[in-house]
Amino acid sequence: MSVVIRLIHIIGSSWLTMVMAGLFGCLTIASNIGLMAASAYLISRAALHPSIMELSVAIVGVRFFGISRAVFRYLERYVSHDATFRLLGTVRVWFYTKLEGLAPARLLEWRSGELFSAIVGDVETLKEFYLRVLAPPFIAILVVIGTCLFLATFNLLFVYVLLGGVVLLGILLPIIVSIVQKSIAEELVAGRTQMKAQLVDSITGIVELAAFGQTRRQAQRIAELEERVAGLQGRVVNMTGMVDAFGLLIVNGTVWLVLWFAIPLVHSGQLEGIYLAVVALTVQSGFEAVLPLPLAVHYWSESMAAARRLFAIVDRTPAVLNKTEGIMASADATIKVEGLSFRYHEQGTEVLRDISFTLTSGHSLAIVGPSGAGKSTLLYLLLRFWDYDQGSIWLGGHELKSYHSQKLRNMFSVVSQQSHMFNASIRDNILLAKPDASDIEFQQVLESAELSEWMKTLPQGCNTMVGQNGYALSGGQRQRIAIARALLRNAPILILDEPTVGLDALTEEAIMGTIEKLMEGRTTILITHRLTGLQNMDDILVLEAGVLVEQGSQRELLAREGLFYQLWHLQHDVV
């Protein structure tokens, strides 16, 4: 029940709109009952050839209920769907906000396709919870009560028959449905998720699949998943058909039973003949509120399965727990690390061990070492993607944990080896760093990042689309766009994470020249395994297996002939 309570809690201030939608639903069915009853009375009464005055009330009633049914149906659909779609938007924003707090540490175990399926498919499934699970019981209860009160004016026997049919259709049949389709909903939600995850992975890696000739094999995997989902959907359709058939059987059986008891009452004079059709059609139309209940059980199961998947993702404890506010960003960009040790898991090995160094504001620092030395881990800790338990990191004289993570990251600009490019224009990708930047600021960063001349060669200039993850760009162009972002952000601390990896020598030299301009006046941390362009760095840290083994300028480190000397000569000898 905790899942249901959480889903209802999400409704928040929209509960009044949902109640209004339910009331309009009740009025719609009530109008239909009134239309059927008034029509039956009008036809039965007219068969006795009364004066037109005696039929005037029934005629007005038929017109009123006919028009009101259409009006209330429109209002019910409009209000309920509008409220539901707004709720789905709220749920998606809530889910994305939760994901943002978990990234990247707690999302590593989830495939991107699974997260995409959750935010699109599972949230979409919750639409049925608000439309077909919450509302129908509320509407059915009110309509059945009203119908019973109306039938009681004729004979209580009709009330008992109606309630018997309601119990069969609205209680026993849903129980049977829940038993029959016990695991279908869970399997269907899981199957859809797996299929969407495979599709997203296939589209993302379509170049690699084509290059290695694995497109047919991947298509076969997707086809197998699709066949499984189609089979489950087929079972749902078959069940829906059976439920509809049994539902109509119960409705028609109840009407026949009402007639079975009503006809003798007409013969005995206890019920006027003109009301026979009124009673029968009232009972039949009253079941309109009960018919959705059996399938509401299926939608309940699907919604609960989808909700549990969403909550399983967002309920994970964030790797970084922020204080309510945290201190404001500091003007001093000095970074001091003391006795820092870190492991990703409690039982895992230490990735960093007893690291200590100081980077004075406005100076530069390079962190080098073999793969797996802990360079990127140190970067993640500085950005508070993870929190450390041993040692301390100070920024501007304050412990790093005293900052709110988002306020802290506002002090950093990052140029990484894998800067993500959204499938949007070049302008939009650069303005990601500062959406409200003026045209003058934008043109200045284009000049500083040396993108202006290239822009002039493009037919659409800076409005040119970059393709999925920047596939339309070369490596050098991607890095210059990343540099433009960093320039536009204009943060006091610059982090360069392997900014030239994968580039040819000429492009690397050009990019490093641009980066040197970017470094001016900023506290800079360069993380790299390529030992080129380090002669201008104020300090260099050499990491090996998580341990700080050397520290100093390039000249000092080469003179010591330690690990840095070996790595430097190895790279230059290869060149």
Largest pairwise CA distance in the chain = 119
Task: Pick the more confident residue, 215 or 329.
Answer: 215
Nearest to 236 by CA among 304, 175, 185, 190: 185
User: Considering the domain boundaries, does residue 417 fall inside one?
Assistant: no
388 within some domain: yes
DSSP string, 88-111: HHHHHHHHHHHHHHHTTGGGTTS-
pLDDT digits (tens, 9 = 90+) for 272-289: 999 999 999 999 999 999
Same domain as 390, residue 284: no
For the cut 70, the answer to whether the pLDDT of residue 326 exceeds it is no
Average pLDDT over residues 499-518: 75
What would the two tokens of residue 25 be? 């639903």
Judge if 394 and 248 occupy the same domain: no
- Is 216 a domain residue? no
Q: Which spans in 432-536 are helix H?
A: 439-448, 452-456, 475-489, 505-519
**Pairing state between β 390-395 and 364-368:** unpaired
Same domain? For 71 and 155 the reply is yes
Distance CA 502, CA 512 (A): 13
On whether the CB atoms of residues 130 and 211 are closer than 8 A, the answer is: no
Whether the link from the prior residue into 50 is cis, omega within 30° of 0, is no
Distances (CA, A) of 516 to 312, 408, 447, 450: 45, 24, 15, 13
pLDDT (mean) for 105-112: 72
Residue after which a domain boundary falls, among 271, 287, 314: 314
Q: How far apart are the first and last CA of the chain?
A: 66
Q: pLDDT for 332-384, tens place per residue? A: 789 999 999 998 887 878 899 999 999 999 999 999 988 888 888 898 899 88
Residue 288 sits in the same domain as residue 331 = no
Q: Where among 314, 347, 372 does a domain terminate?
A: 314
Instruction: State the burial class of residue 71 (Cβ atoms within 10 Å of its Cβ: 0-12, 13-18, 19+).
Output: middle
Q: Tell me how many domains the chain contains.
A: 2
Residues 249, 379: one domain? no
Radius of gyration of the chain (CA): 35
How far apart CA 303 and CA 308 sit, in angstroms, is 8
Q: What is the pLDDT of residue 575?
A: 46
- 293-302, 330-339, 429-438 — most confident range: 429-438
Contact 544, 370 (CB under 8 A): yes
Whether residue 400 is found in the same domain as residue 547: yes
Residue 209 in domain: no
Distance CA 258, CA 393 (A): 80
Asked whether residue 504 is domain-assigned, the answer is no
Report the candidate in 507, 458, 465 with the shortest Cα–Cα distance to residue 483: 507
Residues 310 and 372 in one domain: no
3-state SS track over 23-82: HHHHHHHHHHHHHHHHHHHHHHHHCCCCCHHHHHHHHHHHHHHHHHHHHHHHHHHHHHHH
Question: Which pLDDT band, with edges at 50, 70 and 90, does 154 fall under?
Answer: very high
Residue 119 forms part of a structural domain: yes
Domain range for 306: 2-185+241-314
Asked if 100 and 133 sit in the same domain, the reply is yes
Q: Give the residue from 229, 232, 123, 243 showing the smallest Cα distance to 184.
A: 232
Calpha distance 76→68 (Å, rounded): 12
Which amino acid would we find at residue 479? Answer: Q
State whether 303 and 345 are in the same domain.
Answer: no
Q: Could you give the 3-state DSSP secondary structure of residue 421?
A: coil
pLDDT, mean of residues 310-319? 82
* Cβ(529)–Cβ(370) below 8 Å: yes
Shared domain check, 344 and 309: no
CATH label of the domain that carries residue 14:
1.20.1560.10
CATH value at residue 383 = 3.40.50.300
Task: Looking at the structure, tell me whether residues 161 and 128 fall in a common domain.
Answer: yes
The pLDDT of residue 30 is 94
- Integer Cα distance of 553 and 240 in angstroms: 74
Nearest alpha carbon to residue 34 among 71, 3, 61: 61
Domain co-membership, 27 together with 45:
yes
Give the C-alpha separation, 542 to 357, whole Å. Answer: 11
Structural domain includes residue 269: yes
> For the chain, what is the mean pLDDT?
85
Task: Select from 258, 290, 314 the last residue of a domain.
Answer: 314
In a domain, 114, yes or no: yes
